Amino acid sequence: MNLLNLKPIGFIKTPFQTKEGMPIQPTGAKGVKGIIEIDLQYIDGLKDLDGFSHVILIYHFHLTKTYELVVKPFMDDQLHGIFSTRAPKRPNPIGFSVVKLNKMEGNILHIENIDVLNGTPLLDIKPFIPDVDSPEVQKIGWLEGKSDKMGDKISDKRFKE
């Protein structure tokens, strides 16, 4: 069945203790600082990461136990397929955020613009490379005219378990 078993490489510490009141995307978390503590067994893998101003975090939406294929995201009152949203209750509960890397000290990363719950298990870090990760986008579907306002939105109870 091609199952994949993952285990955290570390954990993300943020000021967000509950899902309610959280920013819904990094733009809504502008300036919010957090810390990543990487498991010491992986510390050699961090070499030269601090050369990059921005990093990709791939993490586990660890409080999400079920999924919904059609959801009303925070930004809209219409129903959309889960894969056309960034909502957490996905078939594979994997999150993705790009954050600013301010400083690295040993296995500790000081990050900024972080939008995840405190204690979120981190699965992978990758360097953000504009030449490959920032395409020229022509359309953003149902988010047209809304995505620049994501920073104003705060999570409500919609995705509470």
Of residues 15-54, which lie at the interface with a second copy (CB under 8 A)? 25-27, 42, 44-54
When asked if residue 105 is in the footprint of a second copy (CB under 8 A), the reply is no
Q: How many residues touch a second copy (CB under 8 A)?
A: 72
Out of 15, 17, 18, 81, which residue is the one contacting a second copy (CB under 8 A)?
Answer: 81
Shortest distance, CB of residue 21 to a second copy, whole angstroms? Answer: 19
Q: Are 99 and 25 in contact (CB under 8 A)?
A: no
> How many alpha carbons fall within 13 Å on the CB side of residue 74?
23
Which of 21, 81 has the CB closer to a second copy? 81
Lookup: tokens for 45 = 């893998």
Which of 19, 150 has the CB closer to a second copy? 150
State how far the Cα of 43 lies from the Cα of 104, in Å rounded to an integer. Answer: 11
When asked if residue 145 is in the footprint of a second copy (CB under 8 A), the reply is no
Shortest distance, CB of residue 157 to a second copy, whole angstroms? Answer: 22
CA-to-CA separations, 53 to 68, 110, 112, 132, 156, in angstroms, rounded: 35, 11, 10, 15, 31
Shortest distance, CB of residue 17 to a second copy, whole angstroms? Answer: 18
Out of 31, 105, 138, 161, which residue is the one contacting a second copy (CB under 8 A)?
Answer: 138
Lookup: tokens for 120 = 């979120």
When asked if residue 14 is in the footprint of a second copy (CB under 8 A), the reply is no
Shortest distance, CB of residue 75 to a second copy, whole angstroms? Answer: 10
Which of 19, 26 has the CB closer to a second copy? 26
Tell me phi and psi for residue 98, to 5 degrees.
Answer: -105, 125
Q: Exposure of 160 by Cβ count < 10 A (0-12 exposed, 13-18 middle, 19+ buried)?
A: exposed
